[in-house]
C-alpha cells in the first residue's frame, strides 16, 4: 500500500510540472491563428526576395496534449495565383518559457515564446505572431 501511495504521489508531482510550463496561462494546448508577420496583418508577404515571394493568406498551429502539433493554412505564389492549402505535423517540447516545434515533414526546428494566449516565433528577418 505504501509503494502504491508513493507512486501515485510521484505521478501527481510529474503531472503538476506540465500544468503551467509557460508564462501567463494554465495550458499551452489549443489553436493559435497567425495574426501578423513582422507587424503587418494578413495576407502578408514575409519575404521580399523575388525568388521566394509567397503570400501567406492564413496559418494555424494547434498544440495537442501529447506533445504533437498540426499546422495548416493557405498560401499563394502571387496575387493572381490560386490559393493553395498546406498541412504539416510535428512534435513539440517545452523548454522553460519556450516551445520547440519539430516538423515531421522537414525536420525543421523552430522556437516559439508563449505568453498567455500569444505565441511568437522569431526567425532571422521574420517575427510571426499567433493568438489563441
Residue 54: which H helix or E strand, with range?
A: none
| pLDDT score recorded for residue 27 | 83
Confidence of residue 51 (pLDDT cuts 50, 70, 90): low
End-to-end CA distance of the chain: 44
Per-residue pLDDT tens digits for 8-44: 344 344 344 444 444 445 589 999 999 999 999 999 8
User: Three cell numbers at 28?
Assistant: 499551452
> DSSP E strands: which ranges in the chain?
30-37, 40-41, 55-63, 68-76, 84-95, 98-103, 109-115, 118-123, 126-131
Find the farthest-apart pair of alpha carbons in the chain and give their distance in angstroms, rounded: 70
| pLDDT score recorded for residue 67 | 97
Q: pTM higher than 0.75, yes or no?
A: yes
Amino acid at each position: 500500500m505504501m509503494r502504491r501511495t508513493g507512486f501515485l504521489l510521484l505521478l501527481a508531482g510529474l503531472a503538476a510540472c506540465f500544468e503551467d510550463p509557460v508564462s501567463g496561462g494554465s495550458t499551452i494546448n489549443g489553436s493559435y491563428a497567425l495574426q501578423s508577420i513582422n507587424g503587418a496583418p494578413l495576407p502578408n508577404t514575409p519575404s521580399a526576395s523575388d525568388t521566394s515571394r509567397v503570400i501567406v493568406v492564413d496559418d494555424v498551429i494547434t498544440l495537442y496534449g501529447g506533445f504533437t502539433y498540426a499546422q495548416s493554412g493557405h498560401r499563394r505564389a502571387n496575387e493572381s495565383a490560386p490559393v493553395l492549402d498546406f498541412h504539416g505535423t510535428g512534435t513539440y517540447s517545452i523548454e522553460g518559457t519556450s516551445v520547440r516545434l519539430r516538423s515531421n515533414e522537414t525536420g525543421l526546428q523552430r522556437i516559439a515564446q508563449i505568453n498567455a494566449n500569444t505565441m511568437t516565433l522569431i526567425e532571422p528577418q521574420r517575427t510571426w505572431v499567433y493568438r489563441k
